[in-house]
Structure 1
Amino acid sequence: MAVPTSAFRRNAIFRERHLWVGTYNVSQTCTPAAGVDASISTQPTTTITTTAGSSVLSRGNNSNSTVTLSGTTIDSTPPAAANAVFSNVIGAGGTGSATLIVDGGTNTVNVGGSGLDALAITNANSGLSTFTVSAGTTLNILNSVVGNEHDGIDVNASGGGAINLTHEGNGQITLLGGNGIWTKASGSGDTNVSVGAGVSILVNNDDALSAGPPILDDTLPTAGVGNHAGVHTRAIDGNTTVVNAASVHFNLL
């Protein structure tokens, strides 16, 4: 059987990687040189199963980063902390934006082992961080790692930029040690979250490692049943706006 591969487009300012349809068992990444935009995308019926690192990673260094999933199944069981699907911008003083798009078909992301978040954005630059699930798209997430900060969708705009998260699709998000959706703005950045009625979130904190007393200071890491939420947002000197039509259920210790 031929091993699936991918097509590249590149020039001095961007690098795009389009995975061909197939089954992959190693991490699929796009990590160009500093100042070059990074982009990686999948096609329907693609399956990616990995036991180390992120299953899909796009990383820009003081540049833009984009991940696009379409009709894709991800199974990620890393032995050390890693996000299954990760759009990442690193570097100091840049204006790069970070984007993660789920568009079309049924998409499934399962996380086990010592994994962190199912789908994540971390943006150390001051550009916009955008997470989108389009209308008509199904996204099912199961993060079975117990403890804390093992979220379904996590957007961390540590560089001070704004966050826009829109989930217009449908599907189930199930967590054993984290939040369904967790957005973290910093500085004066705003965070805007909109989740539609087709989404169902189960926050299952019935494991002792995921339970515990509330932490009332929200500047500290969240822990236990007191702070794990279906939709959790934070802004420091900016504004936070949530429009949530999803159903949220809790299973507590």
Structure 2
Amino acid sequence: MKTGLSSYAYFWRLHDQNPSPVSLYDALDDSAQLGADVFQICDYPQIESWSDGQLAALYQHASRLGITLELGTKGIAPAHLRRYLHIAGELDCRLLRTMVNTPDHRPSQAQALDYLTEVLPEFIRQQVAICLETYEQVPTCHNVELVKTLDSPWLGICLDPANCVAALEMPDEVATLTAPWVLNWHVKDFTFSRRDGWVGFTLSGCPQGEGLLDYDAIRERIQPEKRNISQIVEHWLPWQGDFATSCEIESRWAQHNMQYLLQKNASLTTSDTSKESNHAC
């Protein structure tokens, strides 16, 4: 099981309007210092235009840091997935997270099945898993139906239970429904707060362990350590009024959330080992 961060944990620091943005290299360096052994380059379309030489240099940098790379994009059109399969080959990625819809393309369930049926054999040959992320635009049962129909260990679910709250799908229900097919877990905590005048709510992120995500229950449900499911830290950090403040808080959240997961990993692994030892006796 690997634990690390996504480029979403560097959303404001990587932002193209940031007057002093960090690079992917900077994000990798920072992730390594925080104890990550995996980094997911997620929804970072600039990488689509990188040359093979640029991709090779990034892979070599990650390797020197002891970091495994994963990829993330949006959309399942065959040409798009093939472009990312090529990028995955250059970066030695074994996992591509994606979503059925893009901002300008919403395939039907039948179209989605046709697209995945067409490209999945190519992913299998290269041994790269496609992970369909749970999120509010596509009912979780639809993603599960696609995975069950194609019935391949190289097609699974990227579990992000926080996303589905916006579609009134509760995190525990989503984790239960998807558990047998989860290959990747986006870990981010969230909370609701009243808007001004107490009119409505805002759903936004918060430091891990301070919100509504029941991390222990979901971990117990999907068993990431036994099934080698990577845990990827993401943030829903609202804009704080300026880049300096937003980036400073984002950095603190990344440190806190990675430390939270590493401590959980250590404590739960120790607990599991103790239970096995007692059972053996």
**What is the TM-score of this pair, normalised by structure 1?**
0.28
Q: Which structure is higher in strand share?
A: 1
Rg comparison, structure with higher value: 2
Name which structure has the greater RCO, CA cutoff 8 Å, separation 6+. 2
Q: Which structure is higher in helix share?
A: 2
